[in-house]
Amino acid sequence: MHEMALAESMLEIVEAAARKHGATRVSAVRLEIGALSHVAVDALRFCFDAVTRGSLAEGAALDIESTPGEAWCMPCGTAVPLAQVGEPCPRCGNYQLQVTRGEDMRVKDIAID
């Protein structure tokens, strides 16, 4: 399951950051998820709850922000917004698009006690 692996790597990042700051508990985690990343948010929340059980991030609130997708259109020679991979350029209708933003997920920051 894709989301389980994501939740595990998130926990590693969160735990490393918490240790660095000498924290004993993480109360919230802020995530940025790209609109084109195919991450199922509900599944991710479920997996995060499961992997953090017994860790210092147990019970931490998961605050998820969605970042919009963006692609570079070759014919237009400019960056255009992209709602979904496989869609044409909203300006010229061409499919020669290179996704430049919105495909990844990252931990933006954490709140610690």
Stretch that binds Zn ion, among 11-19, 25-33, 43-51, 75-83 (CB under 5 A): 75-83
**In the complex with Zn ion, which residue's Cβ is closer, 36 or 73?**
73
Stretch that binds Zn ion, among 8-16, 36-44, 67-75, 101-109 (CB under 5 A): 67-75
Q: Rounded to a whole number, what is the distance in angstroms from the first to the last CA of the chain?
A: 31
Least separation in angstroms between CB 98 and Zn ion: 11
In the numeric block, the tokens 């509900």 are attached to 42
Alpha helices in the chain, H assignment, sequence order: 2-20, 41-52
Work out whether 82 is an interface residue with Zn ion (CB under 5 A): no
In the numeric block, the tokens 């609130």 are attached to 61
